[in-house]
Amino acid sequence: MTQIQAQAQTPVNVHAAEKIGTVQQIYDGALLPDIQANTFRNIDRLFSTRTVPASGKAYPLPAGDKQLKNFVFKSNGKNFDLYDYVSLNRVGGLLVLKDGKIVFENYQLGNSEKTRWMSMSVVKSITATLIGAAIKDGHIKSIDDPIVNYLPELKGSAYDGVSVKNLLQMASGVRWDETYVNPKSDRRQMLEVQTMQKPGAVLQLMSKLPRAAAPGTRWNYSTGETQVAGALVRAAVGKPVAQYLNERIWGKFGMESDATWWLESPDGLEVGGSGLSATLRDYGRFGLFLLGGGKAGGEQILPDNWVKDAGSPKMVDGKLVNYGYMLWPIPDAAGTINEGAFEARGIFGQHIYMNPKENVVIVVWGALPKPTGSAPVGDNDFFAAATQAVR
């Protein structure tokens, strides 16, 4: 019996009695504020999940000597302060770490230290990081390997000829429409297939997509790509993705609490692009793991320079794209406090901001009303100002 199987029971959810909406209502942006917050902290009730067990020894997050105080900053031509950011952007949790210490921690919308909150696409960055770990462990020989070497069921599909690197950069050339609110989009079709909870159904959907461009010649954001990435990890390492996450990062680095991860079917494959649910501090610890270059428990988990490479813009068909290996470099950052910073992010305002130069991690739980559109207060402006304020 594996560790994951032995601890497969969904961990206690302190919010489990709350009324929640449906997954369709989430992506339609059709939830009233209280129900939306309830739903975001109860996503383990929407699909089958696999538990990522807590470490036996939590990585310490002591309080910093200098705590973050209120500050004023400019965004979109207007002045805002810390309170504006939390209120206007409907922030349900905010954690700021400086030099590995907590300099600000706050919970709103009924959340607490025990709350697990949905990752949305933040987990894409975790899935991509596991590909890095699989390369370091020798399960994947090279980032340039064709993915069909590991997923032979995709031979003859549009993914035949796509490399691991193409997949990480979302430059496979496979057609995909990410529109969240269009029920006919590829993203929503994938969601509908996920609700069927049939083993292999999502990967089968991906195998039927047509090619739109040659591999490596077009960047196109695709949640489907991360489902393929999750399947790649599972096939390469020969164990559930959540178990590999636990063995190489979650347990080894010292995550304090259990997490849960959506599955495409009971005891099936993890949903590589969404559906992780974890505490605010453990998201912060993942940020520290990347900030430290991918070391955990005294061991180098990721290849040398992986994090820097993953968090940097990439050339796609001769054009610089502001996207790394499922991480987002902060744009227009040269010469600013955000220079070299990058983030994992998800819809509705989920962020893990990482600034290696300033040794800062900022985690934001968002509950914006719609999955698309910009936040009232610019997140990157806030990150820069908060980082400056804790110098």
Place of tokens 């990081």: 129
pLDDT per position as a tens digit, 33-73: 999 999 999 999 999 999 999 998 999 999 999 999 999 99
Question: What residue numbers bound the domain in which 43 lies?
Answer: 3-122+239-389
Do the beta carbons of residue 102 and residue 285 sit within 8 Å?
A: no
Q: Structurally, how many domains does the chain consist of?
A: 1
| Better-predicted residue by pLDDT, 363 or 16 | 363
pLDDT at 2 over 60: no
pLDDT at 8 over 50: no
**Three-class secondary structure of residue 43 per DSSP:** helix
State the average pLDDT over residues 179-183: 91
Residue 355 forms beta bridges with which residues? 360
Do the beta carbons of residue 353 and residue 344 sit within 8 Å?
A: no
Backbone angles phi, psi at 356, to 5 degrees: -60, -40
pLDDT per position as a tens digit, 257-284: 999 999 999 999 999 999 999 999 999 9
First vs last C-alpha separation in the chain: 48
pLDDT at 148 over 50: yes
pLDDT per position as a tens digit, 151-169: 999 999 999 999 999 999 9
CATH number of the CATH domain containing 337: 3.40.710.10
Whole-model pTM: value is: 0.96
Report pLDDT for 195.
93
355, part of any domain? yes
In whole angstroms, give the CA distance from residue 388 to residue 391: 5
317, part of any domain? yes
Place of tokens 């061991």: 299
Report pLDDT for 9.
59
Burial of 292 (0-12, 13-18, 19+ CB in 10 A): middle
With b for 16 or more beta-carbon neighbours within 10 A and e for fewer, the 187-205 pattern comes to: bbbbbebbeeeeeebbbeb
pLDDT per position as a tens digit, 75-103: 999 999 999 999 999 999 999 999 999 99
Do the beta carbons of residue 210 and residue 175 sit within 8 Å?
A: yes
145, part of any domain? no
The percent of residues above 90 in pLDDT, for the chain, comes to 94
In whole angstroms, give the CA distance from residue 239 to residue 232: 11
State the average pLDDT over residues 324-329: 98
